[in-house]
A and B are shown apart, each in its own frame.
Chain A
Amino acid sequence: QKEVEQDPGPLSVPEGAIVSLNCTYSNSAFQYFMWYRQYSRKGPELLMYTYSSGNKEDGRFTAQVDKSSKYISLFIRDSQPSDSATYLCAMSASGNKLVFGAGTILRVKS
């Protein structure tokens, strides 16, 4: 079993939809949680960072962490075609090494 599991998709939604992206993990020591966005042929870029459990909101993006269920989510409201990308969850126990999920491909159709 991989430390971080993420459905690779692709997830295809119409413009304006609410998107839910998820990761599960097995290592209960993880306490730093991130979401990175990766456009085709580009490097990943950090979208959201959350420490321990709870919610964090930034514009159209909301990150949620449920440590009891070992489950994290990223919600995108009012999705746009420009949101089409691969979304990678990443997490860390020690704070200096990230473990990435395989990424979910998101396609937002106009």
Chain B
Amino acid sequence: DTAVSQTPKYLVTQMGNDKSIKCEQNLGHDTMYWYKQDSKKFLKIMFSYNNKELIINETVPNRFSPKSPDKAHLNLHINSLELGDSAVYFCASSQGSQVHQPQHFGDGTRLSIL
């Protein structure tokens, strides 16, 4: 049974489009994250939510908007997609927002902008 699931796994779209990535966790965790992993494999935090409240909001363009309808879900909406948005986006969850709590990652959404 998948712990952190992301949909879709692959997303190929044109520049300028708007797209959403969905994430769900069934671990009962109260903290969820979005990370971006670029072509050089750097994994960078974008957002973090604890109990549906935004607690980390890194320097990310306004075109990226996270939404947490409940503790088990954290979606990422991206407006006006640009070539530089091509990357793998990972959702993760943990029990508590302290880093020593293991973060459980999904398998990523591979976004390619044409």
Contacts from A to B (Cβ < 8 Å): 8, 32, 34, 41-46, 49, 51, 86, 88, 90, 92, 95-98, 100, 102-103
CB of A43 within 8 A of CB of B99, answer no
What is the 8 Å Cβ interface bit string for chain B, positions 65-94, against chain A (1 contact, 0 not)? 000000000000000000000000010100
Contact B105–A96 (Cβ < 8 Å)? no
Q: Which residues of A contact B55 (CB under 8 A)?
A: 96
Chain A CB count within 10 A is highest, among B4, B43, B97, B106, for B43
Chain B residues within 8 Å of A, Cβ to Cβ: 4, 40-45, 48, 55-56, 90, 92, 97-100, 102-108
- Is the CB–CB distance between B105 and A95 below 8 Å? no
Question: Distance in Å from the Cβ of A21 to the closest Cβ of chain B?
Answer: 14
Tell me the bound Cα distance from A21 to B56 in angstroms.
29
CB-based nearest A residue for B92: A43
A100 partner, pick from B43, B48, B98, B104, beta carbons under 8 A = B43
Q: Bound state CA distance, A41 and B100, in angstroms? A: 24
Residues of B near A98 (CB, < 8 A) are 45, 99, 103
Which residue of A41, A43, A96 contacts B97 across the interface (Cβ within 8 Å)? A96
Are B4 and A96 closer than 8 Å at their CB atoms? no
Tell me if B106 and A51 are in contact (CB < 8 A): no
Q: For the complex formed, measure the closest distance between the CB of B81 and the CB atoms of chain A, giving whole angstroms.
A: 22
**Nearest CB of chain B from residue A81's CB, rounded to whole Å:** 21
- B105: chain A residues within 8 A (beta carbon): 42-45
Complex Cα spacing A96 to B30, Å: 13
Q: Which residues of B have CB within 8 Å of A46? A: 102-103
- Cross-interface CB contact of A42 among B92, B103, B107, cutoff 8 Å: B107
